[in-house]
Amino acid sequence: MTQIIDQVRHVCTLGGLQSVLAIERAIPVLHAGPGCGQKLWGAIGLQNGGQGSGYAGGHTVPCTNATERDVVFGATDKLEEVIENTFKVIDADFFAVLTGCTSDIVGDDVGDVVRRFQKQGKPIVWAETGGFKGSNFIGHELVLAAIFGQYLQPAAGKIPGLVNIWAVVPFQDPFWTGVYADLAELLRAVGLTPNVIFGPGGGVTALDRVPAAQFNLLISPWVGLKGVQQLEERFGTPFLHYPVLPIGPTETGKFLRAVAEYADLDRNRVEEFIKEREDHYYHFIERAAEVLLETRFLPRHFTTITDSTYGLALAKFLVSDLGLIPDRLYVVDGIPDHLQEEVGEYFKDLGEGIGAEVLFTPDGGAVQKELRATKFRSRPLILGSAWERTLAKELNGFALSVSMPVSDRLVFDRSYVGYTGGLRLVEDIYSAIMSDFQ
């Protein structure tokens, strides 16, 4: 049966354009149809935590705006002209030419065009990201592969303690800015020097430092694995693949100890930090115990309709630290078939000897249909997207939008990562419950 997609929860490969924009003063140049940019940033940007055009996104992104003539005769000349004028008109430090379906089907030799600019020493790369190649999770990987392969140069030497952080896909995760900043904060606290490529303050300087890192840290069940493998191959940088985005005390402690073990850090310093932050966390949890236990209509069970990263991270926290029970969990990131089994394994141990069954499907409509047919014994807590607002009402449940599209929330620099992030999540979930009947 055809894998249809009803209620999009990710976009296509070309959505990787937002990963370029996540690097400060970097700009994508699209060789694509006129509407691709608008549709994609509309979905994973503006309608996802209110992430607007920023420095040079949105309608500022240069694009060849493919026409019928381009599709018939090819349009490499036009692309060359637009790139040339991009250098004149736009003030940016780094450029990535990304193709859409039109160019990839017609077979424009984009590499040939871009190589001419690379030979002139321009900081520019290209990637074939025609939307039919898959999701923007794949698009993000293609963009990284292009940058790693075509732009980065070997470093003079490794800098001890320098760690590149690779985690959630920028923009697709509306909390990405906070996620990277909070992960960096955790690493700094235990004595490492984080190198954050995405978000404010990174830019080309951070990008240029990538090959000098002591190791790459990948925090994701599957997205980005190819990237750190490529960096190991090209620059000999080892990597730590840690599948769980740490939320709350249990997972954050495990994460920090794993990093400490891998990087051979000062254990006392790590344990002191964990103790101090756990005290802070439990100060508030103790204070909120009445809310967590005595509020009317409390949910006992939860489900998630998110990407793999958040499905795993949210479930681990809610099971390990908040005493909730997972129902069937839904992973909607269009994860490639061959990775499903391995990622599904991660969900078998969420803490307390509790695991969850996972259904992988990009079809949100099918998920909602299944939930409509599910019998709930208490009001269900649904951590999904804005698509679930209507469903939660029908099911008399509680909804919190945490996964694209988060069109009902404005998100700046907060995240659910770490100790503070765990508190933020408890605040958000229980605020949704408390405000529901008031």
Partner 1 sequence: MAIIDIKRNEVPIRENRLGAVTGYVGTIGDLHERATNCGVGNRERCFTQASACSSGCCQNQLGSISDALVVNHAPVGCAADSVAGNVNFKSGARLRGLDYTNVQIISTNLEERDTVFGATDKLRDTILQAYERYKPKAIFVTASCVSGIIGEDIQSVLNELKEELDIPLVPAFCEGFKTKVWASGFDAAFHAVLHGIVAPPRSDVKSNKVNFVNFRGSARKEIINTFSKLGVEPVFLLQHSTVEEIRRISEARATVSICGTLGSYLGNGLEQHYGVPYVNTEQPHGISGYKNWLRSLGTLLEAEDAVEAHIAAEEARIAPELEEIRARLKGKTAVIGMGPSFGHNYTRVLRELGVEVLWAATWHFDQNYDHGEVPESTKRLAEADESLQVSVGDQQNYEIVNLLGKLKPDIYVTRHGGSSVWATKMGIASYMITDEYAAFGFNGILNFGNVIIDKLTNRSLARKLAERIKLPYSDWWIAQDSFSLLNAEGF
Spell out a b/e string for 299-308, using b for 16 or more CB atoms within 10 Å of the CB, else e: bebbbbbbbb
Q: Which of residues 107-166 bind partner 1 (CB under 8 A)?
A: 130-136
> Which C-beta is closer to partner 1: that of 244 or that of 367?
367
Residue 81 touches partner 1, criterion: CB under 8 A: yes
> Which C-beta is closer to partner 1: that of 38 or that of 193?
38
Beta carbon of residue 363, minimum distance to partner 1 (angstroms, whole number): 9
Binding partner 1 (rule: CB under 8 A), the pick from 50, 53, 118, 409 is 53
Q: Which of these segments, 45-53, 141-149, 193-201, 206-214, binds partner 1 (CB under 8 A)? A: 45-53
Residue 395 touches partner 1, criterion: CB under 8 A: no
Q: Which of these segments, 26-34, 112-120, 303-311, 352-360, binds partner 1 (CB under 8 A)? A: 26-34
> Which C-beta is closer to partner 1: that of 248 or that of 405?
405
Please, is 155 exposed, middle or buried when counting C-beta atoms within 10 Å of its C-beta (0-12, 13-18, 19+)?
A: middle
CB 170 within 8 A of CB 18: yes
CB 182 within 8 A of CB 168: no
Residue 393 touches partner 1, criterion: CB under 8 A: yes
Q: Which of residues 82-111 bind partner 1 (CB under 8 A)?
A: 82, 85-86, 88-92, 100-102, 105-106
Structure tokens at 415: 């995240």
Residue 387 touches partner 1, criterion: CB under 8 A: yes
Residue 35 touches partner 1, criterion: CB under 8 A: yes
Helix (H) or strand (E) holding 278: helix 267-287
Residue 46 touches partner 1, criterion: CB under 8 A: yes
Binding partner 1 (rule: CB under 8 A), the pick from 153, 374, 378, 390 is 390
Residue 177 touches partner 1, criterion: CB under 8 A: no
* Cα 372 to Cα 6, 200, 330, 365, 397, distances in angstroms: 15, 42, 14, 11, 11
CB 26 within 8 A of CB 203: yes
Q: Which of these segments, 2-10, 199-207, 208-216, 336-344, binds partner 1 (CB under 8 A)? A: 2-10
Residue 432 touches partner 1, criterion: CB under 8 A: no
> Which C-beta is closer to partner 1: that of 67 or that of 295?
67
d(CA 192, CA 214): 10
Please, is 14 exposed, middle or buried when counting C-beta atoms within 10 Å of its C-beta (0-12, 13-18, 19+)?
A: buried
> Which C-beta is closer to partner 1: that of 131 or that of 397?
131
> Which C-beta is closer to partner 1: that of 100 or that of 421?
100
DSSP of 176-212, one letter per residue? HHHHHHHHHHHHHHTT-EEE--SBTT-HHHHHHHGGG
d(CA 425, CA 247): 9
Residue 64 touches partner 1, criterion: CB under 8 A: yes
Coil, helix or strand at residue 353:
coil
Site string for partner 1, 275-314 (x = CB under 8 A): ----------------------------------------
Beta carbon of residue 234, minimum distance to partner 1 (angstroms, whole number): 26
Residue 51 touches partner 1, criterion: CB under 8 A: no
Q: Which of residues 330-359 bind partner 1 (CB under 8 A)?
A: 334
The number of residues in the chain equals 438
Can you tell me which residue has the tokens 């694009």? 63
CB 143 within 8 A of CB 16: yes
Closest of 168, 164, 127, 170 to residue 149, by C-alpha? 127
For the chain, how long is the longest CA-to-CA vector? Answer: 69
> Which C-beta is closer to partner 1: that of 70 or that of 182?
70
Residue 38 touches partner 1, criterion: CB under 8 A: yes
Residue 67 touches partner 1, criterion: CB under 8 A: yes
Q: Which of these segments, 64-72, 346-354, 411-419, 427-435, binds partner 1 (CB under 8 A)? A: 64-72
Binding partner 1 (rule: CB under 8 A), the pick from 6, 109, 233, 352 is 6
Nearest-5° angle of CA 219, CA 144, CA 94?
125
Residue 217 touches partner 1, criterion: CB under 8 A: no
d(CA 45, CA 59): 12
Residue 5 touches partner 1, criterion: CB under 8 A: yes
> Which C-beta is closer to partner 1: that of 228 or that of 404?
404
Q: Which of these segments, 56-64, 176-184, 227-235, 258-266, binds partner 1 (CB under 8 A)? A: 56-64
* Residue 139, number of CB atoms within 10 A of its CB: 29
Cα Rg of the chain, angstroms: 22
Beta carbon of residue 90, minimum distance to partner 1 (angstroms, whole number): 6
CB 29 within 8 A of CB 68: no
> Which C-beta is closer to partner 1: that of 71 or that of 189?
71
